[in-house]
Amino acid sequence: MSARDRDPIPEHFSSAEEAGEFWDTHSAADYWDEMEMVEMEFDIQKRVFMVPVDGQIYHRIKQQAEKEHRSVEQVVQALLERELV
């Protein structure tokens, strides 16, 4: 695909969602001539584990989180910390 046949990459995206929408519908392979090499390092400090939870339990946790103006993650974390002491 030539440069004339493709949409230009926006200078800035207003959000990660907007960038995702652009790249969901465009192939980076069509833009290799505009790409540049960069060096990156990642220092991942936190690991997240997915644990299946019964739907009724999740619904109760979600209700509690809304009542306390907290996230579901915060409520689950507090419950586990309190139970595992």
**3-state SS string for the chain:** CCHHHCCCCCCCCCCHHHHHHHHHCCCHHHHHHHCCCCCCCCCCCCCCCCCCCCHHHHHHHHHHHHHHCCCHHHHHHHHHHHHCC
- Hey, where are the domains in the chain? 3-34, 41-85
Q: Give the pLDDT of residue 10.
A: 92
Q: What is the model's pLDDT at position 46?
A: 86
Q: Is the pLDDT of residue 4 over 90?
A: no
Could you report the per-residue pLDDT of 52-83, keeping only the tens digit for each?
A: 999 999 999 999 999 999 999 999 999 999 99
Q: How do residues 13-57 score in pLDDT, each as one tens digit?
A: 999 999 999 999 999 999 999 899 999 998 888 888 999 999 999
